[in-house]
Every structure is written in structure tokens, then in C-alpha cells.
Amino acid sequence: MNYTDKLEQTQVEGIPSAYQLPPCPDCGINAGMPHAPECDIERCSVCQCQRLTCGCVGHDPSFAVWTGRFPVNKNAEISLALSRDKRLRPKVGHCYRNCFRAIQVLPEFKNAIYVEGIVHLTRGFQIEHAWLERDGEIVDPTLPTQQGVYFSGLRFNGVVGLAEAMAIPKQSGSRDLPLFHRFGFGGHLSPEFTAARIAAKRMLEFEMGQPSGS
């Protein structure tokens, strides 16, 4: 089976456009899929630079998929520093709290973007997750060094954005976080969060259709 056949098999049909992340503006591939060969937008999974201009060995196309947004690199150094910040005191497995508190208590992150979405971590493993975006980079105090593909769903800008989000009525019996529960079970009433799920699912289906190690 060639590359094009694989792509055709993994398209999600019958989904309203509001629930679809935009395709890659260069190669036209749907969100969640590896870029077509020689795409200008694809980034190297090793050095994070434009794949066309780098010569890195070990590039993994599955970790350079189109996520529906222009490439946003993860700053592992800042993420690791934040994971150890005594002012924040982040907890393992509490990504929503960690990122929410970072904006609330750290002056340097008060204008950061709080994001909830899906992260593809390893072959066949995806999680609902929260992270921050600041100065065009991903900052993840919960998973500071892990490689992953981040599919952005809900986005709230800084302290003001989080205050507006907290004012949205939550479902009976649900906790304050994650915020996507304010948009129906599993966030299914949010077009943005649903689009992130669909794109992540598309990536998973494409990846699992490939032999291990390919």
C-alpha cells in the first residue's frame, strides 16, 4: 500500500467543517496526518527546524504531523524549570491544575495561553492534557521532557481568559477542572475540542496502520 492509499483510508468523512481543524496550507494534508514529501511546513522531529533544510538522521515523520496549527515547538528547558518551580509546586498527573496555577501565581506566565487538548505521546498512546503556550512555544510543566504531538482544543488567554472560562456554567457534579467538561461530556459540544480529538484519532489510525518501527 502506498502513501496516498494510506491517506485515503484514514480520512474521516461526514464531519461538519466546524469540527475539522484546517488542513496544512502547503501540502493540503488533514490535521493528524504526516506531511506529504517536500512540504515546506514540516518540521524535523530531531532539531525542530524546517525538515527541507535540515540533514538530521533519525527524523520521525509521525512526530511531525500537521496539528491544525503552524508548528509550535516545545521548550523543554523552560518546561523542566517550571516543573521544579517552588512557587508553583506542580503535581505529577495534575496537568490542569499545574497550568491553571502557573497563570494565576507566576507573573511571567500571567499572559500565557492555557490550552486543553490531546497529546499523542507514544505509539498508540494519547491523553487528554493541558499545557501552556508563551512566546510561540509550548511549555508543559507536567510532561516537561517527553516528546509528543500536541493537538490544541480549548484556548484561553491569560488571567482574563481563565476568569471568563470559569464563569461558564459547569455540569452538575463536575469539578472546576478540566474546563472542557463545561462543554458537555468529554467536551463534545465544543467544536474546537472535538476537532482536536478527531485529528488525534486520525493520527492514531494512520500510525497503527503502519508496521512497528516504520
pLDDT computed for residue 118 by the predictor: 97
pTM of the model: 0.84
* Alpha carbons 81 and 131: distance in angstroms, whole number: 14
The percentage of residues in the chain with a pLDDT greater than 90, rounded to a whole number, is: 61
Contacts of 125 (CB under 8 A, 6+ apart): none
Helix or strand or coil: residue 114?
A: strand
Residue 61 predicted with pLDDT over 60: yes
Residue 5 predicted with pLDDT over 80: no
Contacts of 199 (CB under 8 A, 6+ apart): 21, 30, 31, 32, 67, 68, 118, 151
All cell numbers assigned to 8 = 485515503
pLDDT computed for residue 150 by the predictor: 95
Q: What is the DSSP string of 127-187?
A: EEEEEEEETTEEE-SSSSS---EEEEEEEEEHHHHHHHHHTSPPPTT--S-SGGGBTBGGG
Residue 12 predicted with pLDDT over 70: no
Read off the amino acid at residue 38.
E
Task: Give pLDDT tens digits for 113-146.
Answer: 999 999 999 777 999 999 999 999 999 999 999 9
Confidence band, pLDDT 50/70/90 cuts, at residue 69: confident
Residue 212 predicted with pLDDT over 50: no
* Alpha carbons 165 and 71: distance in angstroms, whole number: 26
Q: How far is CA 67 from CA 41, 71, 94, 173, 177, in A?
A: 11, 8, 24, 32, 24
Residue 189 predicted with pLDDT over 70: yes
What does the mean pLDDT of the chain come to? Answer: 87
